[in-house]
Amino acid sequence: MRALVLILAAICVLPLIVRPAIAAEIWIFAIFGLGLNLLLGYTGLLSFGQSTFFGSAAYVAGYLLKHHAIGLPLALGVGIGIGALSALLVGYLCVQRSGLYFIMLTFALNQLFYFVAYQWTSVTGGEDGMPGIPRPAILGIGLTEPLHYYLLVSALFLLALGLMKRIVESPLGKILQAIRENEVRADAVGYNVPRFKLAAFVIGGAFSGAAGVLYAMLFGIVPLEAIGFVFSGNVVFATLIGGSGSLYGPIIGSFVFIWLSESMSVVWARWPLLLGVAFVIVVLFFRGGVVEAWSRLWRFSKRTA
């Protein structure tokens, strides 16, 4: 409840502090992070290929928006579907492996998708990206106004968060955590472990897909980076900084990450250094990211008070 109030407050305040486009990007990236964290935090699977789903959805929905003038709900539906479908494909190939092989395979398949996008210039625009993606109006309300679009993104983010909360509190959420804790026992008590990992992939992919479409409409373009490995790395990075052990970790991570990258990149070209430092601090001292640092601080202040 307290978390919800904080998030609502942040949604209201954010566009007053930063440009609406950046504010929207934060929530979009948070949706992307929610999807990743079902894999990373809940199932214990480090996927280094999340932009496969994000980018594929952005390209397909972007293409349909641009050339076939589809409506916004359909664009979102297509994005979610493509995100889930590509995750089904990639997940199917990955869930049988474990450890480093798993991580490398998610990465390698991401590269494969990247090169398809890179080469297929007639559709994707290759390095130049796919520009000219419109933001269709919804229910007669135009979304070209940045603040309108921001509100839509915020509403969809809240929906995504509510959905993810239900999922992680459902039996499925418990089973995924059990798999993270002990695959052998999860199998022994009767769960088809690869099948459940695949489910986590597909759900995570659907969230990534939604984020991808929103991203394409936000900037009016699908840049090639949207399907690149840096993007995949960024969402892992942001989630770890925020804290993969909590539902809200990726949201905080998205905040820190987007805000740092947008505000620092203009004043200091070497800003990724800051991220590096933040990451090292997390790895060395706060494995649970900002969420853990915060709760430790909270306990500490209560003890000393």
Partner 1 sequence: MALLETHGLTKSFGALTAVNAVTLRVEAGAVHSVIGPNGAGKTTLFNLLTGAFPPSSGQLFFDGKDITGTPSHRVAHLGLARSFQRTNVFPALSLLDNVWIAAFARNVSRRGLTWRRAQHYPETTERARSALADVGLAEKANHLAREISHGEQRQLELAIALAAAPRVLLLDEPAAGLSPDETRKMVALVRALRGRYTVVLIEHKMDIIMNVSDRISVMHFGSLIAEGTPAEIQRNPDVRRAYLGGAAA
* Count of residues touching partner 1 (by CB under 8 A): 25
Residue 175 to residue 193: CA distance in whole angstroms: 9
Residue 1 to residue 14: CA distance in whole angstroms: 20
Give the binding range for partner 1 (CB under 8 A) out of 102-110, 149-157, 192-200, 223-231: 192-200
Q: How far is the CB of 179 from partner 1 (least distance, A)?
A: 9
Residues 168 and 203: beta-carbon distance below 8 Å:
no
Residue 129 — left, alpha, or beta (φ > 0 → left; ψ -120 to 50 → alpha)? Answer: left
**171 near partner 1, rule: CB under 8 A:** yes
**175 near partner 1, rule: CB under 8 A:** yes
Continuous segment of H or E residues that includes residue 294: helix 289-304
Q: In the stretch 195-224, what mask flags binding to partner 1 with x, by CB under 8 A?
A: ----x---x---------------------
**186 near partner 1, rule: CB under 8 A:** yes
What count of Cα atoms within 13 Å lies in the side-chain half-sphere of residue 158? 15
User: Between the CA atoms of 25, 133, 117 and 238, what dihedral angle is there, to the nearest 10 degrees?
Assistant: 0
Residue 3 or 189: the one with the smaller Cβ distance to partner 1 is 189
**167 near partner 1, rule: CB under 8 A:** yes
**67 near partner 1, rule: CB under 8 A:** no
Q: Which residues, 6 or more positions from 268, have their beta carbon under 8 angstroms from its beta carbon?
A: none
**174 near partner 1, rule: CB under 8 A:** yes
Q: CA geometry: angle at 263 spanning 260 and 266, to 5°?
A: 120
Please identify which residue in 13, 147, 155, 189 interacts with partner 1, judged by CB under 8 A.
189
Residues 133 and 217: beta-carbon distance below 8 Å:
yes
Please identify which residue in 10, 18, 172, 264 interacts with partner 1, judged by CB under 8 A.
172
Please identify which residue in 1, 184, 266, 305 interacts with partner 1, judged by CB under 8 A.
184
**182 near partner 1, rule: CB under 8 A:** yes
Question: What residues line the site for partner 1 (CB under 8 A)?
Answer: 166-167, 169-175, 177-178, 181-182, 184-193, 199, 203
